[in-house]
Structure 1
Amino acid sequence: MPAEILGGISALKSAFDIARTLKDMDDTAKRNAAIIDLQQTILDAQAAQQEALKKAEALEGRVKELENWEAERQEYTRYPAAPGLFTYAHTQESCGEVGTFPQLCPSCFHHRHKSFLNTEDWNPGRCEVLVCRDCGWHAYVVGSAEPEHQKLAPRPYRGN
């Protein structure tokens, strides 16, 4: 954005220089050519200004988006779903027993996306697994991984 601003300033300086030389010109053809140059320089400066404004608006939108996420993120806390396993849960809801309130995927949460985890039973081994269908993250709450579970692992439909 500083490059566009500097480009706009230099274009305006050129316009003023051309305008200064216009008042000293006697020849109509030279004056008309200088007027055309002046108009083109002014148009270039306006285009540079518009581009800088567009970029500033885009950056303001991104800052607002990040501020909104930060405010929303404060409503969630890291929750121990199992020993060594953490998910995210709404601060007010995480007072209950495990599985009685919605939990968010930690992988998605760190990518500024809220995705609810599903609790699934995978056999053999009668495992209880938390599964995120958005990114494919899964973690065993009860039991451990079995070779047959590879075909049960979720395929993500949203990449991180």
Structure 2
Amino acid sequence: MSGNAAYEPGGMYILLSALPDGGMHWGIFVMVSPPFGMIYNATDSDGTWRLDEHMTENVASSQNILGGLLIKRRIDENMQDQIHNVLTRVPCPPQGGYIQQWGENFRCRVWVKDAIERLRMAGLIGNYPTEDIWDEAFRLGESARRNGQRGVLANSHALRY
């Protein structure tokens, strides 16, 4: 699917956005009530890493989003609060640095890995390996970029768990 993608109300997605240098920016999006949703992502727009979490209404129409991987369905208001509490506590080291758990330097994609792991450990998403979810999202973004697509949506295998 491309263009104005149909994000599921109550769905949680890993979002991948195109960057000018050919890379991808990673974040998590929770569709609250179309067109509104919460975006969570690590950003270093001012040279220091920080968590950016805000309500948005333009995800479905954004031309920068390569794709979204659905990792959870039917999130109710109570679960939204739990997810928010987990995601706002995921560390975002201001100076970045090497993250031993993931074997790489801190970036937005590492923040997403850590967020997925914490959501999984809290029982808020399926008990499917974090690295496998991350790999699914990466492949989705790479495929969309390679094929010149935007707004491609896919379901994660984690939905089965």
Measured against the shorter chain, the TM-score band is: under 0.3
Structure 1 or 2: more helix by fraction = 1
Could you state the TM-score of these two structures normalised by the residue count of structure 2? 0.21
Larger radius of gyration: 1
Structure 1 or 2: more strand by fraction = 2
Could you state the TM-score of these two structures normalised by the residue count of structure 1? 0.21
